[in-house]
Structure 1
Amino acid sequence: MVMMMPIVSKLYCSEEEEVMWVRRRPHVINGGGFVVTDSDHNVVFRIDGCGVLGTKGELVLRDFNGDEMLLIHKKGGILQALSIHNKWKGYSYDYQGIPKPVFTLRDPKNSCIPKTGGLIRISINPCVTNNCFFEIRGYFPDRSCSILDSSGHTIAQMGVSDEVRDLMASGDFYHVVIKPGVDKAFVFGVIAVLDYIYGESTRC
């Protein structure tokens, strides 16, 4: 069993394994992005990309009320341009509404081209859990993709059922199996970045 301390919010850590559902919003409706629902079809998160925000390289994860939980943006500047990695920073909000760093995601700049692209790594900032590092394995556009902790345990697994694959070959609807104790807000913050990296619903 994989158990973690909250990374974004303990409100989104369940004691049982959960299956969440992701449905992409068309670009013509609210600027794209995607919606996450639970097994009872209740909206849990909404992810807005540049079509909504009007800013490239920026994402927002909102809760079911529409309140911001995570602000995620791609770092720029000369150092970023010279680096072999793209670097994304995720920020949550403290009780005063001030952003505080949560995670950094690094991916090789060629990772969106080959299926065997370089490893995508995530580090927690600051590290207050037993798992300070995570990595992505698999190929996100195929919805065959996992998030693993520093011990190599899978904390979240994306997939598409055969029935859904036959009806929606584009990957507009897929599920994510999340292990007990795992912070769902963190997981879908990471998935939002993957969606953007591979030029899908959150990217203009």
Structure 2
Amino acid sequence: MAKVHPNTEEYCIPSVEVAGDRKDKSRVLTVWRKSLLFSCSGFTVFDDEGNLVFRVDNYGSGRAGEVVLMDAAGKPLRTVRRKKLSLGGNWKIYNGEEAVNPVYSVKKQYAKAALVHVAACRRRCSSAAAGYEVEGSYARRSCTVYDEQRRAVAEVQRKEAVGGVGFGDDVYRLVLRPGADACFAMAVVVVLDQMFG
């Protein structure tokens, strides 16, 4: 069986540094739709050296419509919350565990080619704010995040082991283009999983 994470002895690193974290080179994270904790759902994310970078642990007793993205040590980085009175098509991304002043608003696009629109929040989130579009299919693990100039920022891709054996839908790659914010990209993946997972 192919390994999902090569460095099992290095589960905790002190910050959200991604191996090869240089401005001129794409970085690749391995996203595993599995929590490190028993009887929890969530995500475990490794860099290209096998170090734990992000994790999400959803406990059965947690609040519905809320997911916390943490670093390897368990420090909350972003909280993703479903907007109240929304039918699942509107989410907010907050810094840490804050409940006010969202950083981004994510809306499902029903009539357009894009899956979702991610708007940066200034004082209030609005669809007119500069933002990002996500196109493709999250269900097929083939989608791209574009900025307002239509430059690819991040991409979700299927991951295959050496020899062409597939990992299935629970293990995939998150490719971060040069200068991309890994924390933002992973928060968008968490929202996509909540909307389309």
The alignment's TM-score, normalised by the length of structure 2, stands at 0.75
Amino acid of the structure 2 residue aligned with 1:135: E
Count matched residues. Answer: 174
Ranges in structure 2 where 5+ consecutive residues have no aligned partner: 1-15, 124-128
Secondary structure, aligned partner of 2:192 = helix
Deviation of 1:27 (Å): 10
Amino acid of the structure 1 residue aligned with 2:167: M
Aligned to 1:36: 45
1:187 to 161, 185, 188: 185
Aligned to 1:71: 79
Out of 53-62 and 181-190, give the one that drifted further. 53-62
Amino acid of the structure 1 residue aligned with 2:43: F
Q: Specify which structure has the bigger relative contact order, considering alpha-carbon pairs within 8 angstroms and separated by 6 or more residues.
A: 1
CA contact (8 A) 1:93 1:99 kept: no
Query: Matches of 1:187 and 1:145 in 2, distance apart?
Result: 12
Out of 98-107 and 57-66, give the one that drifted further. 98-107
Q: Name segments (4+ residues, structure 1) moved above 2 Å.
A: 10-14, 26-30, 97-100, 116-119, 161-169
Query: Matches of 2:73 and 2:100 in 1, distance apart?
Result: 19
Ranges in structure 1 where 5+ consecutive residues have no aligned partner: 1-9, 200-204
CA contact (8 A) 1:155 1:179 kept: yes
Amino acid of the structure 1 residue aligned with 2:90: K
Aligned to 1:132: 130
Deviation of 1:133 (Å): 0.8
Q: How does 1:51-200 map to 2 (within 5 A)?
A: 51=59, 54-77=62-85, 80=86, 86-93=89-96, 100-108=101-109, 119-126=115-122, 132-163=130-161, 166-169=165-168, 171-199=169-197
RMSD: 3.2
User: Structure 1 vs Structure 2: percent identity of aligned residues?
Assistant: 27
The alignment's TM-score, normalised by the length of structure 1, stands at 0.73
- Residues 53 and 44 from structure 1, CA distance in 2 versus in 1: closer, same or farther, beyond 3 angstroms? farther
CA contact (8 A) 1:14 1:182 kept: no
